[in-house]
Amino acid sequence: MSDSNTLGELFARRGVSRRVFMKYAAYTASLMALPPAMTTAMAQGLANARRQSVIWLSFQECTGCTESITRSFSPTLEELIFDFISLDYHHTLQAASGHAAEEARLAAMAENKGKYIVVVDGSVPIKDGGIYSTIAGISNLQMLQETVADAFAVISVGTCAAFGGIPYANPNPTGAVPISQIVTDKPVINISGCPPIAEAMTGTISYVLSFGAIPELDHLGRPLAFFGETIHDRCYRRPFYERGMLAKGFDDEGARKGWCLFELGCKGPITYNACATQKWNGGTSFPIQSGHGCLGCSEPGFWDKGSFYKPLSAGIGDVGQYIAGAAAAGVALGAASAAIARRRKNKAMREG
């Protein structure tokens, strides 16, 4: 499980030189927009680090985050993360199951006390004592609290863990909450997205591993390296937005010419993520490039912001019947005012 050898020594035993760290550091530093000068520091940090114990807890989740992190962009380069960390507990990827799996988790916690990282995907339900999601006979809440007690840091991957996500959406019957609402005494990094971009997860873990520190975070606890800019600010269709050329339907002339998708509900302007620069599937494409507006999946409450297809400049609620009622009421009030005025006039004329 844990190894007293450094990563440098582990790779050397496999006949791989320390150049692998330089290459990996160059790749990661580039992803996180770190100055090239930091590459050497990161490479050395990695080479001298011990395999990082990582305990991955999965709660109310769909496993999409695991799917994302294992769909490596650069297989071989991306897979290195699984050499750098010792994934001591992971429901989908581990070989053990049942009691053996839980024992492995507890043993990793004991052996790496104060030094292991807890990665969480999925939200935690707390209503009715947390009975709506249980694993190995204990509630998610209990498992989270006992596992993070001696952790070094917590990384919430996916919008569910970071902000509540799908389970948190209206009406939230299970009382789902984000991890940061439960863990308040350890550093928590939020890597949101539904799912998050693989490089956002691996890059952040690598940073923590090489420098033993948390990267710079935004006001929602997300690494600025990946969540510092909105999709809109880096979107290649921005020139069309600036020229007022918006597609009005999914198959109209504008859509076929690749015009801006603002009117089709794109939430790009208020969504912070790296989709427009990193893209998905090895830089192939991202939703807007494929013709669909951004859903805003890395933002809190994105399921409850009204239709995905209503533009940001339009109201969320249904105004139609509301307006009709208001107009009717206005006419009634106007008629009443006019009636009062007439009565006063007639009275004045009679008296005068």
Partner 1 sequence: MDLLDFARGPALQVALGIFVLGVTWRLMSLLLLPRLRDKSVPKKGTLAAPLAAVWEVIRRTWPDKVFARQTMVWHVNGFVFHFGLAIVILFFAPHIAFFRDLLGISWPALPNNAIYAVGALTVAALVISLIRRFANPVQRLLSGADDYFSWLVTFLPVITGLLANSHLVARYETLLAIHILCVAAFLIWLPFGKLMHTFYVFIARGQTGAHLARRGAQL
Partner 2 sequence: MKLESIPVHVTGSATGMAGAILTEIAELLEQLADNNMSGAIDLRGLPMTEEDRIRLEDRLGRGEVSARLDVAGMSEVWETSYPGVWWIRHRGGDGQIAAEEIAVTQIPDILVSPEEDVRAAAVRINAELYSTETSASEEEASHV
What is the contact surface with partner 1 in residues (CB under 8 A)? 230, 232, 241-246, 248, 262-263, 269-270, 300-301, 304-306, 310-317, 319, 322-323, 325-327, 329-331, 333-335, 337-339, 341-342, 345
Q: How far is the CB of 126 from partner 2 (least distance, A)?
A: 41
DSSP label at residue 215: P
Burial class (CB in 10 A: 0-12, 13-18, 19+), 121: buried
Which partner, partner 2, partner 1, none, binds residue 12 by CB below 5 to 8 Å per kind? partner 2
Which partner, partner 2, partner 1, none, binds residue 181 by CB below 5 to 8 Å per kind? none
Stretch that binds partner 2, among 16-24, 60-68, 84-92, 316-324 (CB under 8 A): 16-24
Q: Which is nearer to partner 1, 51 or 267 (CB)?
A: 267
Binds partner 2 by CB under 8 A, chosen from 5, 92, 285, 346:
285
Q: How far is the CB of 304 from partner 1 (least distance, A)?
A: 7
DSSP label at residue 196: -
CA 103/CA 124 separation, integer angstroms: 22
Which partner, partner 1, partner 2, none, binds residue 93 by CB below 5 to 8 Å per kind? none
CA distances for 265 relative to 260, 276, 279, 291, angstroms: 10, 17, 20, 12
CA 151/CA 113 separation, integer angstroms: 7
Residue 74 and residue 201 in contact, taking contact as beta carbons nearer than 8 Å: no
Q: Taking CB under 8 A as the rule, does residue 320 contact partner 2?
A: no
Q: Which is nearer to partner 1, 242 or 251 (CB)?
A: 242
Q: Which residues pair with 60 in a beta bridge?
A: 123
Q: How far is the CB of 297 from partner 1 (least distance, A)?
A: 15
Binds partner 2 by CB under 8 A, chosen from 129, 212, 249, 283:
283
H or E element: which one contains 121? strand 117-121
Q: How far is the CB of 85 from partner 1 (least distance, A)?
A: 34
Q: How far is the CB of 241 from partner 2 (least distance, A)?
A: 16
Helices (runs of H) and strands (runs of E) counted in the chain: 16, 9
CA 153/CA 140 separation, integer angstroms: 18
Q: Taking CB under 8 A as the rule, does residue 15 contact partner 2?
A: yes
Q: Which is nearer to partner 1, 107 or 255 (CB)?
A: 255
Alpha-helix residue ranges (DSSP H) falling in the chain: 7-13, 19-31, 38-48, 64-70, 81-84, 98-111, 140-148, 158-163, 165-168, 179-182, 198-211, 224-227, 231-234, 238-242, 253-256, 320-351
Which partner, partner 2, partner 1, none, binds residue 305 by CB below 5 to 8 Å per kind? partner 1
For partner 2, the binding residues in 34-93 under the rule CB under 8 A are 36-37, 39-40, 47, 73-80, 83
Phi and psi, residue 76, nearest 5°: 95, -60
Q: Which is nearer to partner 1, 110 or 340 (CB)?
A: 340
